[in-house]
Structure 1
Amino acid sequence: MDSRRRDVLKAGGGLGIWSVLAAAGIVTPAQAQDARNVAAFEATTLDDALRALGAGNAAESGAIRIGAPDVAEDGRAVALSVASDIPRTEQIVILIEENPYKVAASFRLSGAMAPSIQTRVKMARSTRVHVLVKADGRLFAARREVTVTVGGCGT
């Protein structure tokens, strides 16, 4: 995807959603500005993304379940599910190691939500999917290898 197109889509989509929420009084303009970790979403190396997320000391956890196909036929839309059995899960972040931009998605969860998400992500090639879970102020991590037969995004 052309990086300028990606920038326009990110800015337009993000501004539209946050503008509606701010106009409705659901969030303040300051909350809308702080909601997105720009450095993490624009990181082009896994180390930079983890550093931006403050995940240098994330503990490995078997309480994070990553559902993904062993072999994804089309990298343009790979189905992923993540569930956390860690009490007080606040956030789930999905990182794709071999994608041009490492952070694929970030979900903030309220206490009323089940710590489980389902989404589709683009994957450039076969790689590890990393998941970070923030729970009770601590970070936990899990990984899973996914083989992609046809890549879904360019560099």
Structure 2
Amino acid sequence: MKRRSFLKGTVASSMLGVAASAGLLTPQSVLAAWPKAAFEAKSVDGGMEAALGSSDVIESGDIKIKAPDIAENGAVVPITISTGMSGVESIAVFIEKNPVPLACSYDLGSTTQGFISCRVKMGKTSDLIAVVKSGGKLYSAKKMIKVTIGGCGG
């Protein structure tokens, strides 16, 4: 029985060594790419430029923002962004008065619907700006959310 355990351990160790030497276990191959410059921007326009390539947006009534009017706890604000536009490429959420305005960004596949639901942090009362990229153009909608207790450490 000890011989079998030894052989299993030896085979497992050698397979792990082969996988590591082939570069299959490096963290870079596991981690997703993220727009570093977009999350380092200090303004909404700067975040849009870095994340979406432009800050020229068109106001649209086709974008629906479902979020509370008053968030009692800014650390957890549930939001839902939806749109009936066709060919939605991405949806990004910006919070104007947060230390880092870009809250989240989603790249959508060609067959997916224009819908996201998540929770964001808000430091203080601010506009939540949803930006939808569709057909190479940027469309946006805003909603003011009042925050009673800030969620960004303040």
Q: TM-score range by the shorter chain?
A: 0.7 to 0.9
Q: Is residue 65–residue 82 contact of structure 1 (8 Å, CA) maintained in 2?
A: yes
* Aligned equivalent of 1:43, options 24, 41, 44: 41
Name whichever of 45-54 and 62-71 sits farther off.
45-54
Q: Which amino acid aligns with 2:43?
A: T
- Whether the aligned pair in 2 keeps the contact of 1:66 and 1:144 (CA below 8 Å) is yes
Aligned match of 1:5: none
Question: Is residue 96–residue 129 contact of structure 1 (8 Å, CA) maintained in 2?
Answer: yes
Q: Percent identity?
A: 40
Mapped to 2, the partners of 1:66 and 1:51 lie a distance apart of: 22
Alignment of 1:31-70 (within 5 A): 35-52=33-50, 53-70=52-69
Q: Is the 8 A contact 1:100 1:154 kept in 2?
A: no
- Equivalent positions of 1:1-155 (< 5 A) are 19-20=29-30, 35-52=33-50, 53-154=52-153
Q: What 5-or-longer segments of structure 2 have no aligned partner?
A: 1-25
The CA distance in 1 between the partners of 2:136 and 2:149, in whole Å, is: 38
RMSD over aligned CA atoms reads 1.9
Per the alignment, residue 8 of structure 1 pairs with none
User: Matches of 1:57 and 1:47 in 2, distance apart?
Assistant: 9
Report the number of matched residues. Answer: 128
Q: Deviations over 1:34-55 (max 9, x none)?
A: x422211111122221232333
- When Rg is computed on C-alpha atoms for both structures, the one with the higher figure is 2
Q: Which amino acid aligns with 1:72?
A: A
How far does the alpha carbon of each residue in 1:103-125 deviate from its partner, in whole angstroms, 9 at most, with x for none? 00001111222211100000001
Task: Give the secondary-structure state (helix, strand or coil) at the position aligned to 2:37.
Answer: helix
